Structure 1
Amino acid sequence: DVEFTKIPKDCLDVLAQQIVAMVSVEEWDVDELFAYIRQSYCYRDLSEKLFLSVVQMLAGRYTNDFFRDLRARISWDKVNNMLRALPGSSQLAITSGGTIADRGYYGVYLEDGKTKVGEVDEEFVYESHTGDTFILGSSVWRMLEIDANKITVVPAPGMPARMPFWRGEGIGRSFELGRKVGEFRKELSRRVDSPDCLRWLQSEFPIDSRAAWNIEQYILKQKQVAGIVPHCELIVIEGFRDEVGDPRIVVHSSFGRQVNGLLGLLVARRLQELTSAEPQMLYNDDGVLLRSSDADELPLNLLDNLTLKEAEDIVLNDLLSSPLFGGQFRMNAARALLMPKVAPGKRTPLWLQRLKAKDLLQVARTYADFPIVIETVRDVLTDVLDFEHFKEVVQGIVSGTIRVKSVQTEVPSPFAASLLFDFIQVYMYEWDEPKSDKLSRYMEVNRELLSEVVDLGSMQEMIRPEAIEHVERQLQHTAEHYKARSPEELLEILLRVGDLSEEEIKERIVDADLSMLEELERNGRARRQHFPSGIRWIAGEEEPLYSHLDLEMNRSAVVRRYIQNHGPITSQELASRYGFRQDAIQEELDRLTSSDDVVKGRFSPRLPSDQQFVFRSNLDHIRRQTISILRKEIKPSSLHTFTQFLFHWQKLHSSTQVTGTTGISEVVEQLQALPLPMEIWEREIFLRRVKDYSRDKLASLTLSGAVVWTGSGNGKLKCLVRGDGAIFLTPTQEDNNKSLSEPSQRLLGYLRKNGASFFTDIRGGCHLSLEAMNNALAELLWQSHITNDQFAELLSVKHAAKRNDEKPIEPIDLITGKRNPYRFKAMQTVRRAMKQVPGWNGRWSLVNLPGVLGDELSIQEQAYAQAQQLLSRYGVLAREFYRREELLPWPLIATELQRMELRGEIRRGYFVEGLSGMQFALPAAVEELHRIRIDEVDEAPMILNASDPANPYGGGIVLNASEPAPMRIPSNYFIFHRGLPLMIIENYGGRLRLLGNPPLDMIKSALATFTAMLKLPDQLRPFTEIVVNYCNDARPTQSPLAPILASLGFRKDKDQTMRYDGW
């Protein structure tokens, strides 16, 4: 049998390319060009409507805002019905022509830059680094350089190397071949139980005995597992569970990937309708694989009660939103020259092509006649997939000539193996991104974010006048590189901008050459038009539009185009230019404003009226230009200047310290939800920020419930302002508690039922031993389930130490005075246990309570509040600081930060050197950072714990290239002077590291502050002795610090120096 051969018909992307190429060589009459193209066999049935839609697209005649950015590829003179080349048409056809789709491959070249070795996939390059070795062809190569366009390599024979990979689509078997495979399966499944099966296989097919035996065993195992073999007259729907227990479905269909791709769309939609879960779908030559982790069970009746019309409707509706359609649209748009290449020899990254194609498709879908959408539908249904044979299969299912049977198996059948293997290959390299659910909808920044901003009418203070001027010059084609270089480009400007006076035209022509206008006038492509305000030039084809401006439709078109190609304007400006009545203009402006196409407000200080109007997309452009201007004005500060800023911002500096319970509350508000080692909260956080701090003041806030404390991982505490919990916590679900130990679950259940309770009440109600209570409290605290209204009790909670023999016990009675006091041994056991138990004071309660959480928030509201908290905490926010937090995923918060920037609430730029580039800042923080940078007032050195949030170093922020930052742990300290680190104290003084050559008098002053910690009250003192083992790499007795340490009371002990409490 010979497979059917198809000749592509009416390929509109190739047609667009050919039209540009033909017009770039010579002028063409539109009708003659249409007749000429129809002489081609491939375009013999091309309709005039489709042809004109392609010409319209190439001439840039679509009026949508996004399509305005797609410059015309050719000029269409409608007056004379001629197509002419624009200055860039010829180069576009030469550099971007061809039908082979750009796969984004990198060229691999030798050091001479000319000898090409081969090509590798873009994603393989992103996973590679200079110096890596890989195999290409039969040789091993080492990467010398990776730039934006190519890889430079040298031979590396004998070196261990890895194989590159290429992503691509297989051709797959045709429908005819798939039907033959199905017939073979049917006959084989009938003969497989017969003793002469092997002999039949060898006699009918060119295979040896081993191959025949393998085929026989393959079919036998399929029948053993599934009980049935799918073939040309039988589709099998198999259900099973994968390795993690999620349900999967395989639809076994032998009709080839071109039919199975459409069958996959059909069964995926039906499954979604039955379960309300969005499945993952994959298909190949042998069937369709469906997976969903959002449903406990997946129904197998996916093809029951099916009709041909329903199948056609589902496939055609879902096709436009499928990844396959998006990929084909990208390739077709590139072939149609809508996404031209940057320059010869320059590659455009595939991910950038995908983004641009996605934006184009989003708009193009709204135009039913957009030629590339039509072409992509044709391409997918006839070339990539096989719609006609899909309908034939569906009709067979409906009529019963193709049966459908469902089976539930314990393990996947052998026939499912190829689909499972393909599934692994596809998802092995998937990024760790959430699926398309509520979360991910907030993770993408919409291209028109400004449309979501409130109070757009009061943006004058957020807009720079020079930004308005910049955008208007581009819209009006008076900016360089926007002016007309040929009569054809001048015609395009008239069609885009509208009527222009002779002086206005001069401003839009390179060298003010009016001969271009004269040429347009000679052949009628441009003509004069009288207006109340004078004579202006219009495109000849628009004479009917301007001759009847009394018609509402024409007036609306002119007003809309005028606003569309300007910055802010006033109604008086329109009335003066065109002589329209003021009420008619106002009526039209109100209509545009109510449709959200135009925004009304005060935007430009150069216009007298408060009633200004601007096209929404232009306002977006102006706002972005303003942001760009503001970013360029930013001069980044050094990291030590930013450190000094943090001391002021976070109330560590003497001029910004606070007092009383109000001051403690301010510190809590700034640092809430930040997990910090529990031992530093009082000693390093409150004592250094609140001048008159005492534990009693903090206890009063905790006891009143104004401040809530809970754990965050073993040994860390975080505080919350009452009512703000929903910003940082998620309501506890019952399923999330299954991982807790049984005592913890019992204790949690008790608190849910009884509310805040004392320790003895909980123990009696839960029937737990003292050891079990200790571990349960610790486990629940460190997992943020519970809190105590006594801060001191939280500090005494030990780390959870689970034991295998830890079990709840039967109810016990506490030993009281009524019991025999001489039972000494038993009493000693109880007393030892009691010493290990925290929480004899205060009441334990749940954290996830309405009073603590406050109002319920959406994901977007939560992300916005968390973004505000981060800015309040750091003033200037970089990604490195976010990594220290326990918050929502960064893309969610970054989206809200970008929205805040567009609203003018914050600024984005490169404020601090040494931090990652994407930085956001409060305006007040930018001003304070600038003040500190120019302020030269001397300050005393400051000692700061490495775990303090005001310390920027560590966690990806280094001191310098050769000096690693110390770990952010409570036993390490910094000594700063004006934000510049002078010395690092590690392990509570065990090692002193001088950074550079700091003044020793400053070091002495700071070390005196450090040794003063020996005098702190017992509950705050971190150590009772300081033992210095090393100063840099030398023993302290041989270091320059020896005299300073001696003057501070340190005594020599062999190679160490020591200082004890009381010395």
Structure 2
Amino acid sequence: MGRAGHALSRTPKGRIFPLTRDELVCAAALLHAVRHGELDRTPQPRCPLDILAQQLVAACVPETWDEDDLFAALTRAWPYRELSRKDFDSVVRLHSQGRLALLHRDGVRKRLRATRRARITALTSGGAIPDTADYQVLLEPEGALIGSVHEDFAVEANVGDIFQLGNASWKILKVEPGIVRVTDAQGAPPSLPFWLGEAPARSAELSDAVSRIRKQGRDPHWLESEAGLSEPAARQVSEFVEAGARALGAVPTRECVILERFFDESGGMQLVLHSPFGGRINRAWGLALRKRFCRGFGFELQAAANEEAIVLSLGPHHSFSLEEVFDYLHPDTARDVLVQALFPSPLFLTRWRWNLTRSLVLSRTQRGGRRVPAPLLRMRADDQLVLAFPQVLACGETLPPGDLPVPWEHPIVRQTIEDCLEEAMDAEGMVRLLRDLRRGRIRKRAVDTSEPSPFALGVLHAMPYAFLDDAPLEERRTQAVMQRRALDVHGADSVGALDPEAVARVRDEAWPQPENAEELHEALLWMGYLTDDEVCGSGWQEWIELLRSQSRVLRERDRWFAAETSREPKAILRGRLEALGPMTVGGAGRFALSPEDEPVLLALEHEGVILRCRLEQQQTWCDRRLLARIHAYTLGRLRREIEPVSAATFWRFLACWQHAEESQRLDGPRGVAEVVQQLAGFEIPAAAWETSIFPARVRGYRPDWLDHLTLTGEVAWGRIWGAGEAAIRTTPITLLPRRDLPQWMSLSEVARGVAAGTLSTRGQALFDLLTSRGALFAQELESVSGLLPTHLGMALSELIARGMVTCDSFGGLRRLLRPSKTPRRFGQKSLIAPAGRWSLLRPALATPGTAEAASWVASVAGGSERESQAEFVALQLLRRYGVLQRRLLERERIPLPWRNLVRACRHLELRGEIRGGRFIAGFSGEQYALLDAVELLRSTRKRQPTSALSLSASDPLNLHGILTPSQRISTQSRSRIQVGT
């Protein structure tokens, strides 16, 4: 976020650039809070002992103090108003003991004075800002300080590397401890340095605002009016919240916490706890949960926490009831668990080093005034930790079982723990949250899904600053999560459900397929038993009788057991689940279990053998291995669905998309309007519109439907691409929404002043008449021009072919296309139907290239820039074809290069309005599609081809030679084309 206007007479301004959907929601919450005058509360540290140690030394450098007087002076300062004498004495002992003490304490008179080295230490190592161990960047040979880079970047850099710092690029000459020496790279292409560190967590007040946005976020109008979002941003937030709510059944807020669990491709599972309470609470909750899982299952888990959620990566051996996780931590003991979880984490070691330098126990400089190198500072900090708290760095084999004994009496150890609990995390907030969960003040919801919900994607892609363990990014188990590239609102409904086809396939694979009696006996040994119906249904009666005659199987009630099979309920039920796949408790049928089996199921779940899932809106139990296979097959099906389709499938899709297929045809005047909207800007011979195009797309098409749309001003027609002399029936005509007419005119070649040739005498006379008199009805044209009806029709046809005139009604063009075969007698009605007024399509075209023409072209363009024109055309082509790729432009006359359309499509993709990818096989280059088109494309792939459609060669679906290697068929041809073969 950039800032500007920071002066008394100016207004401060900021620009917010959200890069993810979670950040967009947070930005909306920030705007809403600012609009309503809400402020963050910045908590102040209470009695920080590390700063107290520094101030004690600084106070004693100029004078000697009585201990009581110094204590009284310190407690008058607001941060130390609650300082206890016990803490004061412990800090005094810290600096007054040992050979390198900074204070000399007179125990008899209780007086304090500084030692000889205290002055230089206080001057060179004082301050509250922690040392982040950045490397200074010095320009050679001057030695001027350019800036600083992170230690990891400096260590990984090589001599000769070029990187950017500020607005210039620099070439590395040498890397020394704490220093990177560079020279000017003279503008050579640089790489960008990186910085690693903790991200500041959002405040509790901002988390409240985020929760409010999530609750109201499904209404885009509320977001626009209350949060001040633009329409595209409000729509994105609304779609994101709606999709997440459909996937999880609710929206995670401060009043509702949701647990989500799903498989990854390694066979393990990811546990996501949706808790939008901010990073400080989530970091504390995540660390404590990770510690509880470690103690319960004996394994350390990878974990991460951001502002919205916590993720724990589970292995194949972890199995438990999802609802139990809410009770893993008790409010009375959670703080103690968190303290123990701190010690091996980077949080504790980093703050330990910071507090040692701030308390002046470690000096930041060495002899000569040089800074202590960061690696050396870390080593000295570890040495101090061994003296104060050796258990943290001790070998695990030498430690007794149980919690580590914490030396609370050591002031820096205690201050480091408090900094971790209160600054990096919010332990008290976590305890309050756990207590509210226990008391029912916060709703709890647990959901098993087949793939991550939209709300889970942010924490799955979390950066290293969110990690709660030491595993690097490339080794995170979250990298094994397969997810859809985009999830629309309606597609989110299927996230938590098992695919019935995958379930049926796994059940078929799991069921034994013996080829003789011996193999059937082997199957009985592991699958528990067979029922009479299963024996008969599989045709195994003969083998069962053979085994029975050998006393190798026994029949108990209607079940067949192997003689050696254990009757232990857990073993039998486990075998049945391994053979049958998902089973429900209650009901009837082969896949039903008795309610009496529930205790056994819970025991198997605790052992990690089975898991709960949902099938057809019912809770089911399934063998863990089979459930992982079901999810793998489900994801495999999703991958197949997003594979590029063949050109033939895409052609069949286009027939559905453009409503040419019988089942997709439209009805009534609104259907005609939708066809016009879809085909806007596409040239079709004038006679073909009502003989071929509309009848193929609108059931029971009637000409008066189109007349109504043109007379009411909703639809306009005319020739906008090129100009020429052609018969009226073959003249290319475009139908388009009148509201878009200025955009199309600004794109037209003729509108840019291309001369159309010399008009005939009659055509010029009619053009001059319309120029001087404006729009005229057909009767007025005939009477004022003095032209015979036949000559008037010829003149109008000429002007239509030149792209100069249009009519308020399509009926005027229709009468030109279907003239009367008998001459008009005196008293008969005019040859030109009195339907609407004829007017100029381009008023300034009489003198192309003049100032008047240039002015009109600028006015119809409406000030549109090239980018907005390209976006307008890209959206229109996507509406026409659903999927846009370069070869389809060969059927278009729009004068925009492909590179401009690609740039516009990239912007639309970044806004989430369209999707990029590979949708049609066999065609190179970038491809883009509307989200609705992707779903229809998938369903077309699944559907069996129907009988071929017979269409006119002038139809937009005539893509011979574009989608196929065959010869092209002229659009003026009277032949028919076949689509769908």
- TM-score range, shorter-chain basis? 0.3 to 0.5
**What TM-score comes out, normalization by structure 1 length?**
0.38
